[in-house]
Structures are given as C-alpha cells and as structure tokens.
C-alpha cells in the first residue's frame, strides 16, 4: 500500500488549533505501517470523551468544543481518520472501504489501550465508531451520537438501486451548488434519500481536486459575497487549494492536502455510505443487533436541522431501545463548530451523570 504523509508545516499557524500531536503506528493487512494522529487534551485523570469526526473534515472540527470540555474536567481524545487531518493517507481508491476504516481504528484503539470511554461522533465518525464500540464494548461506558447512524438498507427497491448506480456512472458534471441543492432535499420525503445523497457521492468522486476548504467554509463560516465569488472562480478552475483569498476555516480544511493526490479518502468514502445494499450489509446487521441489547447509557444528540441526517435519528432510537434523545440544538450538519457551547454542555452533563 502506498502511503502519503502530509508535511508538518502544512499545519503551522492554524487558528484555534494549538494542540500537541500524538501518533500511533498500526499495521495494515498487507503489512504497511499506517500512522494515525490524535489529540489528547485535558486532565489525564478526568473522564474520557472519544470524539470522532466525519468526512471531509478532521479533528480541527472539535477545536471550539475542547476548551469547554477540558475546563469542566473532561479529557478529550480526538483522532484523525486515515486519509484525513494529520493521519497518513493511503493513496489508492481501493485502499478505502468501510471495513478498512473500522479495522484501522479498532487497531488504533487497542494499541492505545483506552478504557472507560464515553463515545461521541458525527457523520462518518459515527458509522465507523459505532462499529468500534460493537467490536470492543468493554472499553466503553457510555455512547452518544448525533447527525449520524448505522445505515442498514437490505430492502431498497431495485429501481432505486439501478438509478443510484446509473447516476454514479453517468457523465453528468456537478458543481458545488447543483450538488448542494439536491442534498438539501434529502429529508423532503418526496423520494428515497439515496436518490439525493448520490449527488454528494458523485460530486466527491468526480472532483479530482475536491474543494474541501471552500465547501467547509461555506457550510461552517460566514463569508462575504465577494470572497465567495472569488474563491468559487478557483473552484471552477479546479485549483481551489491555491486561492490566495481563503478564510481561516478554508485554510484549516485544505491543510491536510498539499495536492489532489492526498484527497483520495474524502473523495472515496462517500461512495461507501451504505444507502443501498453493499458489502457492509452483514457487518451492519451484526452491529445493530449488538446495540439492540446495549444496556449502558446511550444519548442521541442530533442538531435537528440537518437535512442529511434528520431522518436518521428515529432509526438510531429504534436501533438502540436504551437510547435517550437530547433536545435539538440546531447548527446544521457540523454543529460541533456552530454550536460548540451547547453541544459541549449536553455531553458534559451526559458524561458526569450517574
């Protein structure tokens, strides 16, 4: 397996990310060394929150939450998934699969021998992390998730499966805005959500220089019309990483990727979200059966205004009968950034309650 490693200087001077790096090297199935990064902040004897990110972000997503959490006495462990952030980046599309990410992160978890964990995750962090909990349950005392789940779709109509596959293989060229228009309609109830999410899947894979910084800046930041238009010109030219007019957020989410060859993880992983039956079906079933009997605390803490995941919360609650639902706090898909205080307070109370 060919591995790419982002130079350290790419992360110099990022706003709001003063955290010291920690690295763990695991072995992949073919014997390749894979280095996984995590941050470890807060009192070493405090209760531990394992906080996992999704796609296309990295542990920077938790930068605003960490001060709230650590000041309350919580120790925060936040890894970067392989392919993201300061972790190594396998270079081939074939290196990335749902199962590989689960296996890599379980190996990372075991290598660090983390115990007595409260888990929290969003987006792909939940898909991967919930499978980690099911594999290593004795390491976890509480589980919380939001804007994520364990998708299990054995009964998708055949016509939907055919339409998704044909769309992914089509020559249609998507822009960030034509893609986002469709994704925002995922919870409309007018069509199968997979027929909307496929736009994100196709856009990510077809866009060689995936504009991670631009996309995250648009979703999570406040940008003037002029700066948006100028940066969009660079996106249209396929050189978004090289815009000299990027916001601090855009710089943070472009930092892990010196050039497009480093972006295979964010490009490939959306296609592995099991919105239609795929090779993950059996493992998803096993994990969901595990959570059906989970008798430790489980908190569902969704934003409530995220069209990508609004429809998933009810499935999470049905999957785990022991789950409790927290009040919706808003903030959209990446509410770790837009609602850091509110989300931190919910998690602090969850961690500390008996």
33 plus 173 within the same structural domain: no
Cis peptide leading into residue 91 (ω within 30°): no
Domain boundary among 272, 295, 327: 272
69 plus 148 within the same structural domain: yes
228 plus 119 within the same structural domain: no
DSSP string, 245-258: T--HHHHHHHTT-S
**Model pLDDT, residue 354:** 78
92 plus 190 within the same structural domain: no
Sign of dihedral through CA atoms 136, 137, 138, 144? positive
Tell me the angle at which helices 212-220 and 225-236 cross, rounded to the nearest 10 degrees: 160
Active site residues: 123, 306, 333
Neighbours of 70 (CB within 10 A): 17
Mean pLDDT for 132-137 is 98
Q: What is the pTM of this model?
A: 0.95
Closest CA to 186 of 343, 333, 339: 333
CB neighbours of 133 closer than 8 A, spacing ≥ 6?
Answer: 119, 140, 143, 290
Mean pLDDT for 184-203 is 91
Q: Is the backbone of residue 83 left (phi > 0), alpha (psi -120 to 50) or beta?
A: left
CATH of the domain at 53: 3.40.50.1820
Task: Give per-residue pLDDT as tens, 286-317.
Answer: 999 999 999 999 999 999 999 999 989 999 99
Mean pLDDT for 75-93 is 97
Cβ contact 36:79 at 8 Å: yes
204 plus 308 within the same structural domain: no
**Model pLDDT, residue 148:** 97
Sign of dihedral through CA atoms 35, 53, 307, 225? negative
Q: Strand, helix or coil at 53?
A: coil
**Model pLDDT, residue 91:** 97
298 plus 331 within the same structural domain: yes
Closest CA to 4 of 78, 86, 62, 76: 86
pLDDT at residue 188 tops 90 = no
293 plus 240 within the same structural domain: no
Domain boundary among 247, 272, 297: 272
148 plus 294 within the same structural domain: yes
288 plus 147 within the same structural domain: yes
21 plus 83 within the same structural domain: yes
Q: How many domains does the chain have?
A: 2
Angle at alpha carbon of residue 226, lines to 224 and 230, rounded to 5°: 120
51 plus 136 within the same structural domain: yes
Relative to beta strand 323-325, strand 298-300 is parallel
**What rounded mean pLDDT belongs to the chain?**
94
Cβ contact 216:245 at 8 Å: no
Relative to beta strand 3-4, strand 89-90 is antiparallel
11 plus 136 within the same structural domain: yes
Containing structural domain, residue 69? 3-152+278-352
The CA distance from 190 to 257, in Å, is: 37
Domain boundary among 272, 302, 323: 272
pLDDT at residue 344 tops 80 = yes
């Amino acid at each position: 397996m060919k591995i790419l490693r982002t130079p350290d200087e790419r992360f110099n001077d990022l706003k709001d990310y003063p955290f010291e790096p920690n690295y763990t090297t695991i072995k992949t199935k073919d014997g390749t060394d894979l280095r996984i990064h995590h941050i470890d902040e807060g009192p070493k004897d405090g209760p531990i929150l394992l906080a996992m990110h999704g796609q296309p972000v990295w542990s920077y997503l938790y930068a605003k939450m960490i001060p709230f959490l650590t000041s309350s006495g919580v120790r925060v462990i936040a890894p970067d998934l392989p392919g993201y952030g300061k972790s190594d980046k396998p270079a081939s599309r074939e290196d990335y699969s749902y199962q590989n990410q689960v296996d890599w992160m379980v190996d990372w978890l075991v290598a660090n021998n983390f115990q007595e964990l409260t888990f929290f995750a969003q987006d792909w962090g939940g898909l991967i992390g919930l499978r980690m909990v099911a594999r290593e349950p004795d390491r976890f005392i509480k589980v919380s998730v939001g804007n994520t789940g364990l998708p299990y779709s054995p009964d998708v109509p055949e016509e939907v499966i055919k339409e998704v596959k044909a769309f992914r293989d089509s020559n249609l060229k998507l822009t960030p805005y034509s893609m986002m228009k469709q994704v925002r309609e995922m919870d409309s109830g007018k069509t199968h959500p997979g027929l909307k999410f496929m736009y994100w899947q196709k856009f990510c894979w077809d866009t060689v220089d995936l504009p991670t910084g631009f996309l995250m800046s648009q979703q999570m930041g406040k940008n003037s019309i002029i700066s948006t238009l100028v940066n969009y010109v660079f996106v249209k030219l396929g050189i978004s990483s090289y815009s000299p007019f990027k916001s601090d957020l855009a710089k943070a989410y472009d930092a892990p990727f010196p050039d497009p060859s480093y972006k295979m993880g964010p490009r490939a992983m959306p296609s592995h979200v099991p919105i239609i039956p795929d090779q993950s079906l059996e493992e998803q079933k096993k994990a969901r059966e595990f959570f059906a009997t989970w008798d430790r605390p489980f908190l569902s803490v969704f934003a409530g205004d995220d069209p990508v995941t609004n429809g998933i919360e009810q499935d999470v609650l049905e999957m785990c009968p022991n789950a409790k639902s927290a009040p919706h706090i808003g903030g959209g898909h990446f509410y770790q950034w837009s609602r850091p205080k509110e989300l931190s307070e919910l998690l602090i109370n969850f961690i500390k309650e008996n």
